[in-house]
């Protein structure tokens, strides 16, 4: 979409049922594992998002035969990955997951991406690969992996406090390394640990032996990755903003297909919404959140579920009592500096917010849409959806780049408008 997007304004409690696309995080792990298995393998429920297609095109560039038919991805039998050029776009899963796979090829694999992607941290995973025997030129995008047809593997110590993707990226290809991999995290706590749990669970499902019994240590034994037909869960982080619509309008929203159990970090929105005063109920039709007559502020540590911070911050800005969001210093290295971006945009609509070293303090204030500027998305899908959430309550909010939601939700504007309408 081009031009600013007028965020729908709710004149009554939002009530409805929504279906969200599959999890991008699960999808890109599944597609890579399917490719590393040699095929044939499939991924069902893959969302038609930019991040999904960036992973597909990255593997196609490395000579993996892949067909995409709607939400079904088929990886055909092949002899292995080959040299090529990879466009990472702004997808962390591509820029962090593909270099270890590239170390397996014979030849040169070149990596680049969007301008903002060149600013995102890459050092820990590239340095780890070097210590395991890979030849890499560069420390951030653009960089080159000079593959020698395999990699020794072994034990490596890294600081993954900026991104759990550094660990997941190494683990996903580790079974194909000669000695497997033992990854030891040595630093501040790893953010978004549920994402690593997802990686471990998916590796085990594909027959890979993983030992994570020791804190901050993950051991992957060398061996085969079994060709697997994957079924992707709904993206619970994308679903969270729809559930939050019920919270801020005293409405009731049901998300279809919500799993009873999940390794997705998005499941962490439920206890946070309860803190805001919502009620949560699972039923045959899906999971339903009902908003309170009056929101209450929260004091929450979002370290393990940092991707939910924009949604939580938007709800907090609409609450009549103060909130404190903690544990998310690592968000400064995401698609944008999400802490600074949230502070700027909430302030622009009249909010009272301070950045802290690891999060935000948000106090109640009357909010009004500015007349001189739109809500800025910063090319970040979660910033765009946070603006849509604020716009439910604050009339006149416009978002400069709602198209950024295509990263993980192909028709967010249509689904959002349908729910509010």
Residue 50 known to bind ligand: no
Residue 24 known to bind ligand: yes
- Please, where are the H alpha helices in 225-363? 236-249, 269-275, 309-317, 338-348
Token readout for 117 is 């992607």
Residue 161 known to bind ligand: no
Residue 359 known to bind ligand: no
Residue 163 known to bind ligand: yes
Question: How many Cβ atoms from other residues are within 10 Å of residue 249's Cβ?
Answer: 21
At 252, give phi and psi (nearest 5°). Answer: -145, 120
The DSSP bridge partners found for residue 183 are 156, 218
Token readout for 274 is 């309860």
The DSSP bridge partners found for residue 16 are 253
Residue 92 known to bind ligand: yes
Residue 373 known to bind ligand: no
Annotation says 361 is catalytic: no
Token readout for 409 is 């939700």
Residue 224 gets the label, from left (phi > 0), alpha (psi -120 to 50) or beta, of: beta
Crossing angle for the helix pair 193-205 and 24-37, to the nearest 10 degrees: 40
List 162, 233, 261, 307, catalytic entry: 307
The DSSP bridge partners found for residue 301 are 326
Contact 244, 418 (CB under 8 A): no
Residue 165 known to bind ligand: yes
Residue 96 known to bind ligand: no
> CA-CA distance, 122 to 144, in Å (whole number)?
12
Three-state DSSP class for 129?
A: helix
Residue 164 known to bind ligand: yes
Sequence ranges of the binding site for phosphoenolpyruvate: 24, 92, 120, 165, 338, 382, 407
Sequence ranges of the binding site for 3-phosphoshikimate: 24-25, 29, 163-165, 192, 307, 334
- Which residue numbers are catalytic? 307
Sequence ranges of the binding site: 24-25, 29, 92, 120, 163-165, 192, 307, 334, 338, 382, 407
């Amino acid at each position: 979409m081009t031009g600013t997007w007028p965020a729908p304004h709710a004149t009554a409690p939002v009530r409805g049922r929504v279906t969200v696309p599959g999890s991008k995080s699960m999808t890109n792990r599944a597609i890579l594992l399917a490719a590393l298995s040699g095929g044939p393998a499939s991924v069902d429920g893959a969302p038609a998002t930019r991040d999904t297609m960036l992973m597909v095109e990255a593997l196609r560039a490395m000579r993996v035969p892949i067909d995409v038919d709607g939400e079904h991805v088929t990886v055909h039998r092949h002899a292995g990955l080959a040299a090529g050029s990879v466009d990472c776009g702004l997808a962390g899963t591509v820029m962090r997951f593909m270099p270890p796979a590239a170390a397996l090829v014979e030849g040169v694999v070149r990596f680049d991406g969007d301008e903002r992607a060149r600013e995102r941290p890459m050092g820990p995973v590239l340095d780890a690969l070097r210590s395991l025997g890979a030849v890499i030129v560069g420390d951030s995008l653009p960089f080159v992996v000079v593959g020698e047809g395999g990699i020794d593997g072994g034990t490596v110590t890294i600081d993954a406090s900026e991104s759990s993707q550094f660990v997941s990226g190494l683990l996903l290809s580790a079974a194909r390394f000669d000695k497997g991999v033992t990854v030891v995290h040595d630093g501040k706590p790893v953010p978004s640990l549920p994402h690593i749990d997802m990686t471990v669970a998916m590796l085990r499902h594909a027959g890979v032996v993983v030992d994570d019994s020791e804190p901050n240590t993950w051991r992957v034994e060398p061996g085969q990755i079994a060709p697997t037909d994957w079924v992707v869960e709904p993206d619970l982080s994308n679903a969270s903003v729809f559930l939050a619509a019920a919270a801020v309008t005293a409405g009731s929203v049901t998300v279809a297909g919500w799993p009873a159990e999940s390794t997705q970090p998005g499941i962490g929105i439920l206890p946070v919404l309860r803190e805001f005063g919502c009620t949560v109920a699972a039923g045959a039709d899906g999971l339903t959140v009902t908003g309170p007559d009056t929101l209450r502020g929260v004091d929450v540590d979002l370290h393990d579920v940092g991707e939910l911070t924009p949604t939580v911050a938007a709800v907090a800005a609409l609450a009549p009592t103060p909130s404190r969001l903690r544990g998310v210093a690592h968000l400064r290295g995401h698609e944008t500096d999400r802490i600074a971006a949230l502070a700027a945009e909430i302030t622009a609509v009249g909010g009272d917010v301070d950045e802290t070293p690891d999060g935000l303090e948000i106090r109640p204030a009357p909010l009004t849409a500015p007349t001189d500027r739109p809500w800025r998305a910063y090319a970040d899908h979660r910033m765009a959806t946070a603006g849509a959430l604020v716009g439910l309550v604050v009339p006149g909010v416009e978002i400069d780049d709602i198209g950024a939601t295509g990263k993980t939700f192909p028709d967010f504007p249509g689904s959002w408008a349908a729910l509010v309408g």
